[in-house]
Structure 1
Amino acid sequence: MVDVDPVRAVQDLRSVVLAADRGEVSPDRLLAALASLRSLREKLAGWEPQLIAAARSEGTSWAALAPALGVASRQAAERRFLRLRPSATGEPTGEARVEAERGRRAGDRAVAEWARRNAAVLRQLAGQVTALEDLDGEARAYADRLGAALGKDDVTSLLPPLTAVRGHLERDHTGLAGRLGTIENDADLVRRDATGHRRDRTS
């Protein structure tokens, strides 16, 4: 898309519209104005998801955004944003982006619930990793992250560092690495099941 100055484009388009009302505009100028209008529309459309994302990052709720976006509910506001936002994972349409995001959230919720049910096991494994004295470099950094996560109520914060540290334990702590691998596989299965069940319900 050719870059366009929105202020100047609006002024030029306005002059063409006025000339058209007087019958004083050529077909070529009208065609050029229509092309400019299309570029302007695309430019403005690209601003909307940026502004929504900025508002959300500043703490604006979806409910507060809804009237500004001309929709009736917080769900509709979020759906509009997901449709407009460029895809980071390759979905070809806005509707596909909506479904992909909802599937991801369903997976996150399922994994969080699974983690809460298995909190004792996860905390035990994290404690075993942090107690290891022969870790260095990246492994020690992940162990430190686990130590910090153990002090939080949210047990799901243990999952990323547990997954990341596993590869560093496979040589000298194979048993512990194997248990971490089982945990990772179980969490992945829970996520896939939740995503698959949602896809089945919406298909």
Structure 2
Amino acid sequence: MDEDPARTVRSVHDIVAEARSGVSKPERLLEALVALKTVREQLAAWEPELIAAAREGGTSWTALAPALGVASRQAAERRFLRLRPSVGGEHTGEARVDAERDRRAGDRAVSDWARRNSAILRQLAGQAGALDGLNARARESADRVSAVLGEDDVTGLLAPLADLRTQLPREHTGFAERLGEIGVHAEQVRRDAVDDRRSSR
């Protein structure tokens, strides 16, 4: 049948009308069933794309819920996570829901930890901007740290500090080790939060 979903649906509708009147041939019915499967797959692929576009445009989960035929913002988000294709197709819909909730629990815990330790992070960021003897790549990383230092949310310092650590020359090994300790601590906070969430399920 035609690859245009709208024309395919019209063709299937005609075959359904034939079937109701008792004049449809078996091969036509099989053709319609194959076409329906194709249309269902296409519609299933479009739904998460439309949801993602609506979210990017500022539509809330609460507003999306009735459009998706569900009763709550949580159900709307859950539907999206279940429909969204996974990387490599290795996760079921429910596994993607759990993975996303694990990620969010970890992100919240790390953000809370970073805010509680904002003085330390800002001090390290200030020291990063004053480092000397850096090559071009390390200086670029240090400049990114300095740029983020001016923002309100210290959580944004974690990624550029981690990147700077990988670029530092040997004479700054001590500072690199301090940055490494911060990264290890943040990752442990993330793992603990995920473990706590899983154990409470």
So what's the TM-score if we normalise by structure 1?
0.95
Counterpart in the other structure of 1:59: 58
Counterpart in the other structure of 2:194: 195
**How far apart, in 2, do the equivalents of 1:176 and 1:75 lie?**
44
Query: What pairs up with 1:156-195 in 2 under 5 angstroms?
Result: 156-195=155-194
Q: 8 Å contact 1:4–1:43 — kept in the other structure?
A: no
Q: List per-residue Cα deviations over 1:23-68 (Å, max 9, x = no partner).
A: 0011121111111101100101100000000011111111111111
Tell me how large the CA RMSD over aligned residues is: 1.5
Counterpart in the other structure of 1:144: 143
Question: What is the CA distance between 1:109 and its match in structure 2?
Answer: 0.2
Question: What is the CA distance between 1:88 and its match in structure 2?
Answer: 2.8
Q: List per-residue Cα deviations over 1:69-105 (Å, max 9, x = no partner).
A: 1111111111000000011375421000000000000
Counterpart in the other structure of 2:9: 10
Counterpart in the other structure of 2:28: 29
Question: What is the CA distance between 1:193 and its match in structure 2?
Answer: 0.8
**How far apart, in 1, do the equivalents of 2:69 and 2:177 lie?**
53
Counterpart in the other structure of 1:129: 128
**How far apart, in 1, do the equivalents of 2:89 and 2:37 lie?**
25
**How far apart, in 2, do the equivalents of 1:135 and 1:164 lie?**
14
**How far apart, in 1, do the equivalents of 2:137 and 2:83 lie?**
38
Gap change, CA 1:81 and 1:40, over 3 Å in 2: same
Runs of 4+ in 1 over 3 A off after TM superposition: none
Q: 1:87 is aligned with what amino acid?
A: S
Q: List per-residue Cα deviations over 1:134-182 (Å, max 9, x = no partner).
A: 2232211111111111111100010000000102225120110000000
**How far apart, in 1, do the equivalents of 2:88 and 2:175 lie?**
33
Moved more, 104-113 or 162-171: 162-171
Q: 8 Å contact 2:115–2:154 — kept in the other structure?
A: yes
Q: 8 Å contact 1:116–1:156 — kept in the other structure?
A: yes
Counterpart in the other structure of 1:119: 118
Identity %: 63
Gap change, CA 1:90 and 1:27, over 3 Å in 2: closer
Gaps of 5+ in 2: none
Counterpart in the other structure of 1:44: 43
Q: 8 Å contact 2:141–2:167 — kept in the other structure?
A: no
Q: 8 Å contact 1:130–1:143 — kept in the other structure?
A: yes
Matched length: 201
**How far apart, in 2, do the equivalents of 1:170 and 1:132 lie?**
11
Q: 8 Å contact 2:134–2:169 — kept in the other structure?
A: no
**How far apart, in 1, do the equivalents of 2:27 and 2:172 lie?**
75
Gap change, CA 1:114 and 1:65, over 3 Å in 2: same
**How far apart, in 1, do the equivalents of 2:32 and 2:2 lie?**
15
SS at match of 2:10: helix
